[in-house]
Amino acid sequence: MEAVESLLATPFNDLIWRAHSIHRLHFDPNGIQLSTLLSVKTGGCPEDCGYCPQSVRHPTAVAQQSLLSTEEVLAAAQIAKNAGASRFCMGAAWRSPKERDLDAVIRMVEGVRALGLETCATLGMLKPSQATRLKQAGLDYYNHNLDTAREYYGEIIHTRDYQDRLDTLAAVRDAGMHVCCGGIVGMGETRRVRAGLLAELAQLEPQPESVPINLLVQVEGTPLYGTEALDPFEFVRTIATARILMPTSRVRLSAGRESLSDEMQALCFLAGANSIFYGERLLTTGNPDVARDQHLFARLGLHAE
């Protein structure tokens, strides 16, 4: 972890140059993969994650919503595809899915695949048998973030432990699915904690195919509301370090992108980010709309992959 912390502290220009040089070795430097995320079941989660407005333990304005129908999900997936997304992600606020819930999600996965989109889901913790069922249904990616470094985890979440997350990731890998795994920064952590998160991600074997880097979206009513905002340049440093440590992973700008200026996003792309969540909402928080993203891509000479 000391080596990663040292990397984060590298002079900014040197860090960006190194990250971008590595990025060019493995990816089209002007290509961005587009994913769209839909909340298929909102609110009512029994977990106490300090950042999450969907927890029943936090007094937020998020209204609980039952599981969407397959038809509603497929209509949203078609809109996402028409807007240029290549991957459609379905998120549900569960600690872990019940079998009847999994049956419904599997119908969604099968329908989204039939539209010609890559599929991703984030449903909480999975048993090995559930991971196998999702793989058999054609799920391409499963998202399960580590959220933060092992030593800081207890400051953020108390209703599950770090090993629970690692066990789900192992079940996903054993089932043969791709892993989407990242974390959240700006939760009051130190640079050393950010280094610990990146080290944990880089040590996963194999490394995640997708690494979403989320910037905390502060929602009134959550325990982390009012946390001091992260320096935007520290966020860019995190992106660059993730690219250096995980050279063949897609590094995705995820939650919190709405708060980044176009200029800061351009720096993130230069530093090695090559995937974004695309669309107007991410689960329950805002996201830059499609027209704004398309305009930014045109200004920067970027294209969707």
Q: Which residues are catalytic?
A: 45, 49, 52, 89, 120, 180, 252
Strand partners, 263: none
What is the Cα–Cα distance from 195 to 201, expressed in whole angstroms? 10
Pairing of strands 178-180, 31-41: unpaired
In contact, 305 and 33? CB cutoff 8 Å: yes
Query: Is-contact 188 231, C-beta < 8 A?
Result: no
In angstroms, rounded to a whole number, what is the distance separating the alpha carbons of residues 150 and 171?
20
Give 153's contacts (C-beta < 8 A, 6+ positions apart): 147, 161, 162
Asked if 174 and 131 touch (Cβ cutoff 8 Å), the reply is yes
Q: Pull the structure tokens for residue 134.
A: 């999702």
Handedness of CA 196, 202, 205, 208 (dihedral sign): positive
Q: Could you tell me if 70 and 108 are in contact, meaning their C-beta atoms sit under 8 angstroms apart?
A: yes
Q: By the 8 A CB rule, do 200 and 144 touch?
A: no
Separation CA 240–CA 268 (nearest Å): 7
